[in-house]
Chain A
Amino acid sequence: GQSLEQPSEVTAVEGAIVQINCTYQTSGFYGLSWYQQHDGGAPTFLSYNALDGLEETGRFSSFLSRSDSYGYLLLQELQMKDSASYFCAFNSGNTPLVFGKGTRLSVIA
C-alpha cells in the first residue's frame, strides 16, 4: 500500500531551527513534496524533491533520500507566522498526491 508517516506535533522556539521528518511507502515514486497549511486556509506548496539531496528555498529546505524512503523539511529562523500544519506528499506520475497526516508546528516565544 501507500503511506506516509510524519510526527503529529512539533513545538519550537522563535528563531530556532526545526526539522520535520517524513518516511513513506509506495510502489511507484516520482518525488516528495511539502505543503504548508494555516488553520482555515488552503495548503500552499513549499518544495519538491525528485532527486536525492537538499533543496533550499529561503528559510525552508527539503531533503530526500530515495534509498531510505525518507525526507525532511527544515525550517530555519523560525517566526511566529510559521505556526501551521505541514504535510509531506508524494506523487506517482499523474496520480493524485497522497498526503501524510500532517505535522502541527507551534512556534513559541
Chain B
Amino acid sequence: GAVVSQHPSWVICKSGTSVKIECRSLDFQATTMFWYRQFPKQSLMLMATSNEGSKATYEQGVEKDKFLINHASLTLSTLTVTSAHPEDSSFYICSARIGPEAFFGQGTRLTVV
C-alpha cells in the first residue's frame, strides 16, 4: 500500500521556539494532505487541509499564524508550530488519501517544556 512518512516521530522543545514537522508521500503524489491533532485517548481532530501550490484551509479555531502549513511539492507538506507553548503539546499526524482510503504518517509526539 501507499506510504506516508512523517518526521520527526517525537520532539521536545522549549516554550517560545518553533518546531517543523514534515510529511512525505513516498510512492504517490498527494495534492492534498491533512493535518490532525490528537490528545490522549481522544479522536483525531482535523486542523487543516494542505493544498499543493496554494494556501492551506484551516478549521475553525485553529490559528493559521501559529500553525504554519506549507505544501511546496506534490510529495511534501510541512507543519510548523510557531512560538510553541506547553498547551501545544500533543500528537500531530498527517494523512493523505487515495480514493476513500486514508494513509497516515507515523505521527509526531510534541512536548513543549
Within 8 A of B (CB), among A70-97: 85, 87, 89, 91, 94, 96-97
Q: Determine the interface band of chain A, counting residues with CB < 8 A from chain B.
A: 20 to 34
Q: Determine the interface band of chain B, counting residues with CB < 8 A from chain A.
A: 20 to 34
Within 8 A of B (CB), among A25-51: 30-31, 33, 35, 40-45, 48, 50
Shortest beta-carbon distance from A44 to chain B in Å: 7
Within 8 A of A (CB), among B30-52: 32, 34, 41-44, 46, 49
- B residues near A (Cβ < 8 Å) are 32, 34, 41-44, 46, 49, 93, 95, 97, 100-107, 109
Since A40-B109, A96-B34 are in contact, a sample of 6 more A-B pairs with Cβ atoms closer than 8 Å, ordered by chain A residue number, is: A44-B104, A45-B101, A45-B103, A91-B97, A96-B46, A102-B42
